[in-house]
């Protein structure tokens, strides 16, 4: 009996000893991980020579409870992709843009930009990776390909569309060098050995801006007509996402734009708002096009790759609808110019900076997240337009069928646009399936003499990030 009791005590001590050792090893592991964090944070940033750099301009994209959906630029070529050529092109492109070879490290709710020891690799797959996770070596960009398409996924906390666009142009250039043996020099393409531009990695939201406080800025009511499909109380978890693609001949579209004194974005806004007005003849509030506009020039940060976007409004009401189309386009130009005013942009930037300062003053991810809950499921009525601008493939344009920009997770109706010398590509991306808006839009363009035929609906979803375990 005594021997049995001794055995039990010995076994108990053994279990306790093992538990104690396990606890010590766990503490040691956590200590090492935290020290690794400290070392990485203190020694790196957007470029290898940087240090202690936190995310500022992209903070609003970091505290979503479900994570942030990837933005995707899809480049479709005329032939199937050769992975070996694409990876050679990627190696050269990433050399020019070291700030894209990064990852994020979170500490006390702050996200630090550090250099990634693993270079990005282009993979053949139909599945997009969760950015910031192990499947793409923790990168905030990911390059994949399938058949004739190359997909460049990027996280909005890292950059905006204008920030990633030069990288995509460089990638296209080098890929075409290898795939099509085209080594023509193309003006504006940044090459592997080129130096970074002045201010290319600067964050425009680390300082406040002086502006003319005596100016009376334009005021446009944001209360607008809401589409039936923007159902109250619907959550992103219950939604399905659809895209409708439209490809327009570049010269045909631009000829009509010039005839009516419209820019490409203005023409799309006018056609969309008129289409919505036709669908809802009893609309009782302005139909608002929310235009994503670049603030770089106004903030003196022309070369920054970081987020620098402001939403500007083009309202469409009954009085406006009664005007001739050319007069409508001219008034929209005036409205956009008023909202692009440098002092107005600086005023708006200062408001964003106040929010970022508030976030920086709070410790802990959960508390920062509470501050940003108003971004959750935010919808801008009536719809949103984002025009990324014209890509510059030069002599490689013959090999590029089209370039698309899209992401899921948005509420309601969003329209994205890109262009090459050959064509404009428009995507109607929706949190509902109905094709009545894209069909009505296409009908408006055809009335103006623009050949337009939308494709069938494509159900899609871009994955949310995997930066950390969501609370």
- Chain segment 134-160, per-residue pLDDT in tens: 999 999 999 999 999 999 999 999 999
Tokens of 101: 């070879």
- Chain segment 270-297, per-residue pLDDT in tens: 999 999 999 999 999 999 999 999 999 9
Between these two residues, 469 and 268, which has the higher pLDDT value? 268
- The domain over range 236-460 is classified in CATH as 3.30.559.30: yes
User: In whole angstroms, how far apart are CA 441 and each of 313, 395, 422, 452?
Assistant: 19, 32, 21, 9
Lowest-confidence segment of 103-117, 132-146, 221-235, 256-270 by average pLDDT: 221-235
CA pair distance 116, 103, nearest whole angstrom: 6
CA pair distance 51, 73, nearest whole angstrom: 30
Residue 237: predicted pLDDT: 45
CA pair distance 460, 438, nearest whole angstrom: 17
Check whether 130 has a pLDDT greater than 90. yes
- Chain segment 325-380, per-residue pLDDT in tens: 999 999 999 999 999 999 999 999 999 999 999 999 998 999 998 888 766 656 67
Mean pLDDT of 292-306: 96
Residue 30: predicted pLDDT: 56
The CA-based dihedral angle spanning residues 105, 111, 117, 123, taken in that order and rounded to the nearest 10 degrees: 100
- Please list, residue by residue across 133-147, b when 16 or more beta carbons sit within 10 angstroms of its beta carbon and e when fewer do: bebbbbbbbbbbbee
Confidence of residue 184 (pLDDT cuts 50, 70, 90): confident
pLDDT mean across residues, the chain: 90
Mean pLDDT of 460-470: 86
Check whether 107 has a pLDDT greater than 80. yes
How is the chain split into domains, by residue range? 236-460
Tokens of 44: 């790196």
């Amino acid at each position: 009996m005594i021997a049995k009791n001794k055995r039990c005590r010995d076994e108990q001590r053994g279990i306790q000893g093992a538990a104690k050792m396990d606890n010590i090893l766990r503490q040691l592991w956590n200590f090492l991980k935290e020290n690794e964090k400290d070392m990485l944070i203190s020694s790196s940033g957007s470029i290898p020579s940087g240090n202690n750099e936190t995310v500022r301009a992209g903070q609003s994209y970091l505290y979503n409870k479900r994570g942030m959906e990837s933005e995707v630029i899809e480049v479709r070529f005329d032939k199937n992709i050769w992975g070996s050529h694409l990876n050679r092109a990627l190696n050269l492109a990433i050399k020019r843009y070291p700030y894209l070879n990064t990852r994020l490290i979170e500490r006390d709710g702050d996200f630090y930009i550090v250099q990634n020891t693993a270079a990005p690799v282009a993979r053949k797959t139909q599945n997009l990776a969760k950015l910031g996770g192990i499947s793409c070596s923790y990168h905030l960009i990911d390059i994949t390909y399938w058949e004739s398409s190359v997909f460049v996924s990027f996280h909005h906390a890292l950059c905006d569309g204008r920030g990633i666009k030069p990288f995509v142009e460089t990638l296209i250039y080098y890929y075409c060098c290898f795939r099509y043996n085209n080594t023509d020099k193309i003006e504006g393409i940044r090459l592997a050995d080129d130096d970074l531009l002045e201010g290319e990695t600067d964050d425009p939201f680390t300082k406040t801006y002086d502006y003319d406080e005596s100016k009376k800025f334009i005021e446009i009511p944001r209360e607008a007509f809401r589409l039936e499909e923007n159902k109250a109380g619907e959550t992103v978890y219950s939604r399905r996402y659809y895209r409708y693609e439209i490809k327009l001949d570049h010269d045909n579209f631009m000829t009509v734009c010039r005839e009516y004194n419209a820019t490409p974005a203005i023409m799309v806004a006018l056609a969309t708002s008129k289409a919505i007005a036709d669908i809802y003849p009893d609309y009782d509030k302005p139909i608002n096009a929310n235009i994503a506009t670049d603030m770089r020039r106004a903030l003196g940060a022309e070369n920054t790759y970081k987020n620098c976007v402001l939403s500007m409004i083009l309202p469409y009401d009954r009085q406006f609808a009664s005007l001739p189309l050319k007069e409508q386009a001219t008034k929209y130009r005036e409205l956009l110019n008023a909202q692009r005013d440098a002092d107005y942009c600086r005023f708006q930037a200062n408001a964003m900076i106040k929010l970022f300062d508030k976030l920086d003053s709070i410790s802990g991810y959960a508390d920062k997240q509470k501050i940003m809950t108003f971004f959750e499921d935010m919808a801008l009525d009536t719809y949103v337009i984002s025009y990324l601008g014209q890509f510059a493939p030069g002599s490689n344009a013959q090999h590029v069928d089209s370039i698309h920009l899209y992401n899921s997770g948005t509420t309601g109706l969003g329209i994205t646009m890109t262009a090459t010398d050959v064509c404009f590509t428009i995507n109607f991306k929706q949190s509902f399936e109905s094709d009545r808006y894209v069909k009505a839009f296409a009908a408006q363009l055809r009335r103006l003499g623009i050949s337009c035929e939308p494709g069938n609906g494509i159900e899609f979803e871009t994955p949310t990030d995997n930066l950390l375990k969501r609370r």
